Structure formats: structure tokens, C-alpha cells
Amino acid sequence: MKLRLFNEYPIQRYFIFSFIVLLNLMSNVDAQDFKRADRPREFNFPQDDGNHPEYKTEWWYLTGNLKDSKGNLYGIQATWFRSLLSKLKSPRQSPLAVQDVFFFHGALTDVSQKEFSFDQRSSRKAKGWAHSDSENLNVKIWGDTLKQIENTSQETKWEIKFRVKQKLIQLTLTATTEPLLHGEIPGLSQKGSAEGQASYYYSRPRLQARGTIKDRVSGKEVVVDGSLWFDHEFGSNQLSKDQVGWDWFSVPLDDGTDLMLYLIRKKDGTLEAKSSGTIRLPDGKRHHLVKDDFKVEVLQTWTSPESGGIYPSKWKLRVPKHNIELEVEPVISGQELLTQGTTGVNYFEGLCRFTGKRNTKAITGYGYVELVGYAGEFVYGL
Amino acid sequence: MRSTTTILQLFLKDLRQNPGSAIASVLAIALGVALFIAIQLAGSAARSSFVSAVEAVSGKTTHEVSQTGGLPPARFTDFMDHPSVQAAQPIVEDYVSIHQVYRDHQKLDQKIGPLRILGVDPLLSNPFLTVNANEPLVSPSDFNSFLTEAGSTLVSRSWAEENDLKLNDLIQVAVRGELKSLKILGIYDFEVLGEAVRETAVVDIATAQEVLGRTETIDRFDLIIKKGEEEKVSQILKPGERLERPSQRGERTAKMVDAFRLNLAALGSLALLVGSLLVFNAGQFRVVRRSQLMGQLRCLGVEGFQLRLAILVEISLFGLIGSGLGIVIGNLLAQGLTGSISQTITDLYTFIQVEITPISGTLVVITIAGATAITALAGWIPASDASKTSPRLTGIRSREEHDYKIHLPRLVALSILSFGMGILSVNLEVGGWWVGILASIFFLVSAACALPPILATVLPALKRLSEQMGFHLLPIALGALYRSLSRTSGAAAALGVSLGMTIGVIIMVTSFQKEVMRWVQSNLQADVYIADAYEKVSRNNAKIPESFLADLKNYEEIENVDTLRGLEIPFKDGSIFFTGIDLHSGSHVHKLEFLEGNPDRALKMLQAGEVIISEPLATKHDLSVGDPFPLSSRQGERQLTVAGVFRDYSYDRGYASTSKERFVQEFGDTGVRNMGLYLKPGIDAEAFSEKLRKDAAKSYFLKIRSNSQLRADVLEIFNRTFQLTYLLQTIATILALTGIGVTLYCLFIERAKEIATLRSIGASLRQITRLLLAESITLALVPVVLAIPLGAILAWILISVVNLRAFGWSLPFHWPLSEIALTCSLALGAGLVASFIPFKAVKNQSLAQILREQ
């Protein structure tokens, strides 16, 4: 799951009040105006890869690893986020009138150079600025785009193009697996015990990626290929006020196992009972994991010199039910997205190496870990 | 050194005994400086208001992308995404007029005036403007409304407090002939917008588009471009798009008021001259007054250089105090002028709130140094003469006058030289209007230098003449004046110069006015004229609502309609007004007065989409019939052909017209901004326009005027334009007259002994009165007589050189003899009044006491 924070947006200095919007744009809209994820859903692809405007929030999330011809490893993250700010009470004349707001976060981890950089942009929904299609996958915020370019019975192909500072990343993605639905009821992912405190959530692990990372200043280009993990989630008001953050893990392992886990932390220091996960074994069978099905032990912490946040930085993951034991460690430290110029929450989103065994067989893989709520206040109202 | 201190102490004692003349000297210096400062400040304020208004909003913006008629919003992405662009912000911005303010549905009384609508996209993370606030400026829930609800606005705290505006007040603004509402959602401290643009409503860009009625376009994209990469960004520009620095836009706007500043520059040079003369006169007077004391000191063995030093210290102190005071007065005077300047610029160009910026340190230093130097120089010349002469002769007035008269031939030479330079500059082919100003200054200097020699020649001649004619008192008066030339000539020259300038301007303005009214008469042919009521507030956003145009079809009284579409567009390095006109049979275009080109052929070419241009445009850019006319339209660069040149006094920057069809093709339909209605025969235009006004008032904000009303308005604006000129002229003349008054006062006080002697040998009070009056009149009359030819020369320069080069308008001469005569008589009368107070002081002196003192 990828619950994004809104106050982390670096509005810098344009208007000091900008971040307030981002802090509050969720909480000020009456959730009753929207549909809620409160019942089973029949997913229909590729249409469900597209936009669901009847829900307040929606995000499309890509994380993964790439290698160039020299074997250099890169991690990438690209998120497109949509939030419906207002339902128009009366029609407005300006096509720029705000209804939906879109955000983009992008990050690039250059492992060989031990460099991490990130970028972020926002826009209202407007022609040529930002939009998302309902028919199939086509999301755009300024020049950052994610769209389906081919969909046949054999193959689903996407194209992704985004900017992280001066680097332009352009990839063609080919789906190699079926979508992986999360939640006890497949596709309905519960975030708390209240009705409707959930989102519709699925992943497309192991998207085969091929393309380039181009330096827009020097014009230098490297050809890369690798594997990305796609998440798509939509819903209205999933989180409650006593939840202060979460730890999220996702990894495609080399034995063919796909694993996703999340832990929602509560104010009182306990874990949300609805914390859960999904595992798809090499045989293609999907299993829902409840909180007690897995254990996450923090082995080490890292203190951010920038935000001061103390983040877990090494874990032991256990899924006893499936005889899985994994050690997780970031490929480089400091993969933290900072929210300069605002008082917003910073978060860690980093490429990690997963090593361990399933049954007795050694397994490994590059996955992503997201840690939210460790540096600063947490935002409610998602 | 000690002796210098002692001398200064003596001077000080003298000062205490005669504070009147000291105060008069300081005042004279102060007034001269004040006039100079006031005009300097007013002139620079007009220009800097434009530039600073642009800069205050552009903040950190390095470049702007714009296009006539606006940019399509989708185009913004290309710049957002450009590698050389660090940050970008779309801007929709304009002035609107506040119509009414409501609080809880109740109308409030205050009338607030214009309001700048600044539409930005707060969702973009751009460092364009800095806000200094530690607290949240609006409540979070309100911010959601700010983004999503139409008409939500934030205003600056200072402006809200000044106008007693509160949260949730509804500001109703009039724009494009209709009313729109803005709700105050937040009151903020927006320091970067600063004083110059306090009256700003910051709104979301969508609200700005809606309020300003341009929902399809964005005015400009503000960019922060990486250093040295401007070229890379300009490569993606499409035809018609401009990439420029904000300062270039500021300069382009500021260029609009160049002609207006010319007016102030001319007055500034006059102020400098009159001011200097007053300061010079005051300086000279101080020393001359000291002559007796100096003579005594020389007799006591004080060295010449010690005297010079003491005088220099004293006179410099006077200069310092006087110029300091003058700066304060000048500042106040300039503040008083701002309203008038704002009004004139708004009348003629575009809405602007002129605010006098605080006087710069440089100007203070220059002014104080300049004024002190002139004062010191003025005192130095007689002082150095005095210190050079033998102690016996020092302090004898005839000696001083003799010294002064030695300088007369030099003045004659200087006058002739200046005159020659004036003639030379007028004939200069190169240069702009400033050549005219330069020539005027030469002629003014020439006149100022000529006056003392003229007085020196005329006074003895008149004296002999009056003696021969058997007058008794008049020769004494003339003789007295002749003997005090060193004291009086400065003041007289100041009067002559300012009066000459006044006469010159009167001739120019009258000629101008007569010609404009003739032109208006022949050009305004429609019966009723309609315009957006707030056309002035935002020139490029004026529009008559379409629904009103449709309503007009229901009026049977209307026979024909003329419509005008127009935009202010960039042209070469400035801007011009470009219009699209209806070419039906009744169109006003048939009444245009063509100065060049065959009217029938011109109209045919116009029909085909070519342009006709106004005289100023033709003169300024050296365009004539058949020349290519470059047009940068929304569609890109076009090359049209000049089909004719017509007479026009409405836009000094220039005016070009094409057919309506061509205009729409190039700029899109921007809407009708002005229209003229031709009524059926027998319909009363006054009554009909009244009826139309009443009908329209229900839902529109339009200015509906009958032909005669419009003419009256044109005349009013014309007069208002020259109000400032008249005002400053009057101030200069009053100052000059004050100079005369001060001079006479000192002169009379100094001659108290002489007058007392005259009275003791039997002259009656009446005779004394006549004597002094004769002196006053003569002192005023000579400059007045000189002012007439000077005025004529200046008028000729103003009309034939300055006006033609600055505005491109050719004007026939008109001689307003009665007005000139009136001005001269007023000056003479004022001269008499100016002498009244000193005269009274002399009259009331005790004869016995004076004689005893002597």
C-alpha cells in the first residue's frame, strides 16, 4: 500500500500557505460525497488501471531496479497521485478551476555512485497540465507520464517517462504476471476495523522494463533494463486519527515468490490489527497474510542528518506460515524524500536488498521499503 | 583663524539684529530648491511607478513569456518541462475597478478605487514571491475554498486595514462592462508586494480568468531560467510569442509615459533655472548687505582672505540651511502633485497609481551641494571683489555697483553665446525632443543673462527721458533701481524667465487645444458613443458585453452602428494601439482626415486587410504610404502595407487600424471595446442616450455618451492633462514674484536712510508711496516686456520641435493675445502686490529713529 503524505510537498516559498492546502486537502472534503471501498469489487483490466473519479484519492506507484550494460544498479520510484478537492457546486467558466489535484514524486537511486535524488511536482487537473483517463492507464502531470501503449490478449505494454532533477527516465514496461489483488476479500484492502476504512488495492509485480536514463544537461544516456513493481490503489478516507505511520515492504524474489507486507503503527505504540500482506508463491497461488502471519524485527536504525528522523534500517522478516526468513537492508543509506520549505513529514522510500531462504532454499531479490511517520507529524484523512 | 571666528561672530550679531533679511534669504534658497526637488520627484515617480509595479510582482522572475492576446494554458507545460527552466508560474493579472463593498449583505460606504487582480497557481512550487510570515495566513479550511471556490481572494493586511475591510466582505468589481464578486477569504502580510502594489487581490488563476473574462488564455508565464540559458528557451518559442526580462516589460510600459515625462522635464529645466536664479540672488544679497560691515573690518586691518573665508562660511551655511529646508518643502510639494500626475497618466495612458518614492540620498547630496555651491558662488563674486578693493572703498555701495556693472559685458557675451547655441540646437537634425528642451534652456539662459544688461541700459535711458519730460520722482526711482542692479537683476531675471515660459506654454496649449477641438468636430460624427465604463483601468481588457450588443438590435431609433475592436500591442521597441474597424457605408472611417494617401484607395486597401496609421506613428517610425508594416499577431509575424496616414490626436504612441475581419483573423475576436451609434433623422441624441443609459444601468457598466457629452469630456481631459503644467507654471511664477518681493523688501529696508532723508526734506508720504510703486512697477515691467518675445520663441520650439518630435503631431499656430495680455497684467499686478508688504514696512518706520541711527 502506498498512502502518500501531502504536507511533504516542497512548495518552497511561493506561498507559505501552499503546504496547508496539501496538509488539508483531504480532510476538508466531506467523505460522504464519495464512494467508499466498503464492498467486494469485480476488477476489470485494463480499464481498472485507469482513473476512478468517484473515489476521493487514487495513486499509481512504480518502484523497481534497473541495470545498465556495465552492471550498475539503479533504483527508481515514480508516483502519480490524484485527489479530488471539490465537487463543483455550480459550473465554473475557467477550465483551470480546481477540482482534482495531481502530484508526482520521483526518485532515482544510483547505487554505484551512492547517490539518491528525488523530485516532486503538482498540478490541478487541466488540459495539457495534468489528467488521468478512465478507460485505461494514462496519467500525466506536466511531462511526467505513465500510459498504456498496447493491450492485446498476449501483452500489456506501458510507457513511463519522468524527470528526477536533470535525469530523464524513459522506459517501456511489459506485464509478465497477472495483477495481484490484496486483502482478505481480493482487491479490498482493509486499513482499519471501521466500515469503509479500506481501499481497493492491487499490484502488478515483475513488469519488465527497458529504456534509458538520460542526463538532460550533458545529453549522456545509459540504456537500462530491469523489473518494476506497480501498485494501484483508490478509496476514500481509509485512515483513522490514531494511526501514526506505516512500514511497507514489497519484493519480487528470485524463486518467483512475490511478497507485499504493511504494518500500520498506532499512537499508543501498538500495531493496527488490520495490518496485512499478500504472498504469491511460485506456483501462482495467492495467499492473504494477516498481522499474526508475519513478524518484522528491526535490527538497526539510521538517523537522518537532514530531518533528524530515526528510521529502521535493517530488518528481519519472517513469514512462518510459508517458511520464509529474509534479511532486508537498504542498498545505500539516505534514501529519504525531504520536504524542504514546509513543515511536512519526510519519508523513506528506498531500494533494499532482500536475502534469506524459503523452506531451505536460498532466495534473494531487490525490493522497496517505505517508512512513513518517523520524521515529523503524520497527516490524517486519507 | 581666530579673526575669522571673530568676523563670524560679528556676522552673527548682525544677523540677530536683522533676522528679517536672513530669513528672506533662506526662504528664497529653500523655495528655489523646493521647486527643483518637487519636479524631479514627480517626474521620476511617474516612470518608476510603472517599473516598480512590474518588478514588485515579478519578484525573482528572470524572464517572461507573453503573446499579444494571451497564451493558451496547455502551452505552459512546454516551459514547465524545459531543462533550462528552473521554475515557472502562469500569471493572469489586471486592474479592475471596485464598484461596491458588501458586509453581511449591507452596502458599505467606502469607495476604494482600483484593485489589481493577481492570479497565480498556488499549487506550483515556485520561489517567485517571498512571504514573510510565521503564522498560517489563512485557516486551512478556508484555503480549500480559496482554491476551489470562484471569487475567493486574499488581500494585503495594510490595504484591508486602510480601507476597513474585514474577512468575508464581498468586493464587487466592474470589469468588461459587468459586475463580478470577490470574497475576502484571507488578509495577509505579503511584504514582497510592498507599498507600490498594496491594492492587490491575490486569487487562484482560475478565479482571475473568470473575473477578468479571459478564461481561455493566460497573460504570461513567469520563468526562472538558468543563468546563460535564455537562448535554449527561446528556441522553443512559437511565432508571436515573446521571451523577455520583466524589466523589459516595465521599460515598455514606462515608455508610454515618455511624452508625459517630457512635459515634466521641460518644467524641471525651468525649475532648475528659476531656482538657481533665486538662490544666486539670495547669495549675492547676503554679501552685498554685509558690505558696510566688511568695509569697517577692512579698515580695522582685517585681511581680504579672512573676509572671503568668513563670507564663504556664512553663505555656505545659508545655502545648507536653505537647501535642507527646500528639500523638505519640495517633498511635500511633490506629494501634493501625485494625485494630479496619477489622474493625467490614467486619462492618457493606462491606470497607474503614482506614488512619490522617498527622495534618494544621491539627489539630496547633489541638491544640497549644488544649491550651496550656487549660493557660495553668488556670494563669492562680490565678496572677492570687496576683499580685493582698498579698505576705504569697501562697503561703499556705488563701488559695489560699479563692480557689478563690470560684469555686465560678460553677461551680454554669455547671453549672445546662449542665444547662438539655442539657434544651433534648434537646427540640429539629430536627436529627439530633448533637442528642443536643450534649445529652450539655451534661450532661457540667454534671456536671464540679457536682463541685467538690458536693465543697465534701459534704466538710465528711461531716467533721462523722464527727466526731460519733467517728472521729479520717476527719475529718482529709476536711478535708485539702476544703483541697486546687483541686488535686483537676479529676481527680475527669474521673473522674466518663468513668465516667458508661461507665455510659451500658453501659446502651445492654445494652439493644441484649438486644433484638437477642430479635429474632434470633424471626426466625431456618431450620435451616441458607448464604451466599457472602466476602459481606463485596463486598456486591453475593455469589452462591451455581447448580450448588450444583442439588446441594441431592439432599438428602432438606431440606424447604423460602428464597432471598434482594439488591443494595445507591442510595436518595435514600444507599443501602439491596434484596432479593427467596421467598414460599412456609414463608418467613421470615411470621415478620417488623410494626410497622406488617396482616401478611396486607402479604404480599398483597408478592406483588403492592410493598415492605415496615425500621424504620430508615421512620424516616429518614419513610415509612409506603401511601406511595409510589421505586425506581431497571435498568428505570428505579419507584413502588412501602410495604406494611408491619418490625423489623430487620441494616442501619442501611435494608432493603426485594419479591417475588423483582418483583426479577428490575427488576434481572435477580443470583443467590441468601443462603439458609435448613428440615429435615425429626427431622434434626439441626448434623450436617446439618457434612455439607453437607464436601460443599460440595470445590468451593465458602460459609459454611454452623446456626441456633445463626449466632446465636453475630451475638452475636460485635455484641460486636465495640462493642469499639472499650469500648476507648476503658476508655482514657478509665484516663486519668481516672491523673489521680487523679497528683493524689494531688502532694498527698501536698506534704503531706509535715503527714504527718511527724502521725507525729512519734505517729501510727502504720498510722494514716497509713488516713488516706491514706480520702482516696483519698473522692476516687474522690464521682465514682463522681455518675456513676450521669449515666450514666442519658446512656443515655436515647443510646437515645431518638441511636439513634433515627441508626439509626432503637427500643429498650426494660434496666438491667444488676450490670454498673453492677461498673464502679463497679472504678473505686473502680482509684482505690485509683492511689493506691498515691504512697502508697508518702510512706510511704518519711525523717521526720527532711522535718522538717529544714522
For chain A, list the domains and their CATH numbers.
Answer: 18-34+52-375 (2.40.370.10)
pLDDT at A29 over 80: no
* Helix-helix angle B434-468:B397-426, to 10 degrees: 140
Q: Which of B729, B730, B737 is nearest to B278 (CA)?
A: B737
A163 and chain B in contact, CB less than 8 A: yes
CA–CA separation, B517 and B798 (whole Å): 19
Q: Is the peptide bond before B72 cis (omega within 30 degrees of 0)?
A: no
Q: Which of A93, A102, A61 is nearest to B178 (CA)?
A: A93
Which of B125, B138, B146, B205 has the most A C-beta neighbours within 10 Å, making it the best mutation to test the interface with A? Answer: B125
CA–CA separation, A129 and A99 (whole Å): 13
CA R_g for chain A: 20
The overall average pLDDT reported for chain B is 78
8 Å CB contact between A198 and A191: yes
CA–CA separation, B721 and B516 (whole Å): 13
Between chains, do B205 and A96 touch, taking CB under 8 Å as contact? yes
Residue B201 C-alpha, separation from nearest chain A C-alpha, in angstroms: 14
Contact residues, chain B, for A88 at CB < 8 Å: 148
Residues 6+ apart with CB under 8 A from B177: B532, B533, B543, B544, B545, B548, B700, B701, B702
pLDDT tens per residue across span B222-252: 888 888 889 999 999 988 888 888 777 666 6
CA–CA separation, A213 and B259 (whole Å): 57
Q: Which of B459, B461, B446 is nearest to B496 (CA)?
A: B446
Residues 6+ apart with CB under 8 A from B659: B580, B581, B583, B606, B607, B608, B609
8 Å CB contact between B653 and B692: no
Least confident of B220-234, B313-327, B417-431, B717-731: B717-731
Q: Which of A213, A174, A218, A238 is nearest to A38 (CA)?
A: A238
Residue B150 C-alpha, separation from nearest chain A C-alpha, in angstroms: 7
Nearest chain B alpha carbon to A20: B140
Mean pLDDT across the stretch B266-288?
67
**Which amino acid belongs to residue B694?**
K
8 Å CB contact between A104 and A141: yes
B236 and chain A in contact, CB less than 8 A: no
Q: What is the pLDDT of residue B195?
A: 38
Between chains, do B143 and A124 touch, taking CB under 8 Å as contact? no
- B483 φ, ψ to 5°? -70, -20
Between chains, do B137 and A98 touch, taking CB under 8 Å as contact? no
Task: Find residues 128-147 of chain B whose CB sits inside 8 Å of chain A.
Answer: 128-131, 133, 136-138, 140-141, 143-144, 147
Contact residues, chain A, for B205 at CB < 8 Å: 94, 96
Phi-psi category of B176—alpha, beta or left, where left has phi over 0 and alpha has psi -120 to 50? left
Between chains, do B137 and A23 touch, taking CB under 8 Å as contact? no
Q: What is the pLDDT of residue A302?
A: 95
Residues 6+ apart with CB under 8 A from B442: B418, B419, B421, B422, B425
Report the complex ipTM.
0.86
B148 and chain A in contact, CB less than 8 A: yes
DSSP string, A15-60: -TTHHHHHHHTTTTS-GGGS--S-S-----TTGGGS--TTSSEEEE
Residue A75 C-alpha, separation from nearest chain B C-alpha, in angstroms: 22
Q: What is the pLDDT of residue B851?
A: 60
Nearest to A142 among B80, B136, B150 (CB): B80
DSSP B164: T
Q: What is the pLDDT of residue A27?
A: 42
B125 and chain A in contact, CB less than 8 A: yes
Nearest chain B alpha carbon to A339: B125
Joined together, the cell numbers standing for residue A294 give 508475519
Nearest to A98 among B83, B148, B209 (CB): B148
CA R_g for chain B: 33
Residue A304 C-alpha, separation from nearest chain B C-alpha, in angstroms: 24
pLDDT tens per residue across span A355-371: 999 999 999 999 999 99
pLDDT tens per residue across span B581-592: 887 766 777 778
Residue A279 binned pLDDT confidence (cut-offs 50, 70, 90): very high
CA–CA separation, B544 and B195 (whole Å): 33
Residue B771 Cα to chain centre, angstroms: 42
Mean pLDDT across the stretch B539-563?
83
8 Å CB contact between B283 and B41: no
Mean pLDDT across the stretch B352-376?
77
Contact residues, chain B, for A123 at CB < 8 Å: 123-124
A30 and chain B in contact, CB less than 8 A: no
Residue B577 C-alpha, separation from nearest chain A C-alpha, in angstroms: 28
Nearest to B144 among A21, A143, A166 (CB): A21
pLDDT at B133 over 80: no
Residue ranges with strand state E in B694-761:
702-706
Residue A41 C-alpha, separation from nearest chain B C-alpha, in angstroms: 31
Residue A186 C-alpha, separation from nearest chain B C-alpha, in angstroms: 35
Per-residue burial over B66-84, b = 16 or more CB atoms within 10 Å of its CB, e = otherwise: bbbbbbebebbbbbbbbbb
Q: What is the pLDDT of residue A257?
A: 96
Between chains, do A25 and B136 touch, taking CB under 8 Å as contact? no
Cβ contacts from A onto B, under 8 A: 134
**Which amino acid belongs to residue B589?**
V
Residue A91 C-alpha, separation from nearest chain B C-alpha, in angstroms: 10
Q: What is the pLDDT of residue B844?
A: 67
Residue A229 binned pLDDT confidence (cut-offs 50, 70, 90): very high
pLDDT at B56 over 70: no
Q: What is the pLDDT of residue A74?
A: 97
Distances (CA, A) of B510 to B507, B515, B718, B811: 5, 8, 11, 11
CA–CA separation, B411 and B453 (whole Å): 7
CA–CA separation, B475 and B468 (whole Å): 10
pLDDT tens per residue across span B828-839: 887 777 667 666
Between chains, do B126 and A14 touch, taking CB under 8 Å as contact? yes
Residue A254 binned pLDDT confidence (cut-offs 50, 70, 90): very high
- B710 φ, ψ to 5°? -65, -40
Task: Find residues 269-328 of chain A whose CB sits inside 8 Å of chain B.
Answer: none
pLDDT tens per residue across span B772-825: 788 888 888 888 888 899 999 988 888 888 777 777 777 888 888 888 898 888
Least confident of A19-23, A137-141, B332-336, B726-730: A19-23
Of the CA atoms within 13 Å of residue B389, those in its CB half-sphere come to 22
B229 and chain A in contact, CB less than 8 A: no
A127 and chain B in contact, CB less than 8 A: yes
Long-range residue pairs from B436-439, CB within 8 A, at least 24 positions apart, any chain: B436/B797, B436/B798, B436/B801, B436/B802, B436/B805, B436/B806, B437/B262, B437/B265, B437/B266, B437/B269, B437/B802, B439/B797, B439/B801
Q: What is the pLDDT of residue B559?
A: 87
B65 against A375, higher pLDDT: B65
| Greatest C-alpha distance within chain B | 100
Between chains, do B210 and A93 touch, taking CB under 8 Å as contact? yes
Which of B148, B204, B227 has the most A C-beta neighbours within 10 Å, making it the best mutation to test the interface with A? Answer: B148
CA–CA separation, A126 and A26 (whole Å): 20
Distances (CA, A) of A299 to A325, A327, B450: 14, 9, 101
Nearest to B209 among A28, A90, A96 (CB): A96
Q: What is the pLDDT of residue B271?
A: 66
Nearest to B215 among A10, A18, A93 (CB): A93
pLDDT at B537 over 60: no
8 Å CB contact between B740 and B492: yes
* Helix-helix angle B19-58:B723-750, to 10 degrees: 160
Nearest to A92 among B131, B133, B206 (CB): B206
Nearest chain A alpha carbon to B215: A94
Distances (CA, A) of A254 to A203, A208, A221, A350: 18, 14, 29, 19
Between chains, do B133 and A16 touch, taking CB under 8 Å as contact? yes
Antiparallel, parallel or unpaired: β A346-358 and A324-330: antiparallel
Which of A17, A23, A123, A164 has the most B C-beta neighbours within 10 Å, making it the best mutation to test the interface with B? Answer: A17
pLDDT tens per residue across span B742-774: 667 666 766 677 777 777 787 777 887 888 788
Q: What is the pLDDT of residue B670?
A: 79
Grid-cell match 486592474, residue found: B95
Nearest to A17 among B127, B138, B148 (CB): B138
User: Among residues of chain B, what percentage have pLDDT more than 70?
Assistant: 76
Q: What is the pLDDT of residue A56?
A: 86
pLDDT tens per residue across span A201-224: 999 999 999 999 999 889 999 999
Using CA atoms of B313, B317, B318, B321 in order, give the dihedral in degrees to the nearest 10. 170
CA–CA separation, A347 and A336 (whole Å): 6
Residue B229 Cα to chain centre, angstroms: 40
Residues 6+ apart with CB under 8 A from B838: B741, B744, B745, B746, B747, B748, B749
Q: What is the pLDDT of residue B452?
A: 87
B191 and chain A in contact, CB less than 8 A: no
Contact residues, chain A, for B75 at CB < 8 Å: 128
Mean pLDDT across the stretch B31-49?
74
Residues 6+ apart with CB under 8 A from B431: none
Q: What is the pLDDT of residue A120?
A: 84
Least confident of B95-109, B128-142, B322-336, B508-522: B128-142
Between chains, do A24 and B126 touch, taking CB under 8 Å as contact? no
Q: What is the pLDDT of residue B110?
A: 67
Residue B186 C-alpha, separation from nearest chain A C-alpha, in angstroms: 11
A117 and chain B in contact, CB less than 8 A: no
8 Å CB contact between A184 and A198: no
Contact residues, chain A, for B80 at CB < 8 Å: 121, 142-143
Residues 6+ apart with CB under 8 A from B367: B33, B36, B37, B323, B326, B327
Residue B109 binned pLDDT confidence (cut-offs 50, 70, 90): confident
Burial class (CB in 10 A: 0-12, 13-18, 19+), A320: exposed
Joined together, the cell numbers standing for residue A154 give 498476449
8 Å CB contact between A199 and A37: yes
Mean pLDDT across the stretch B371-396?
66
CA–CA separation, B40 and B57 (whole Å): 26
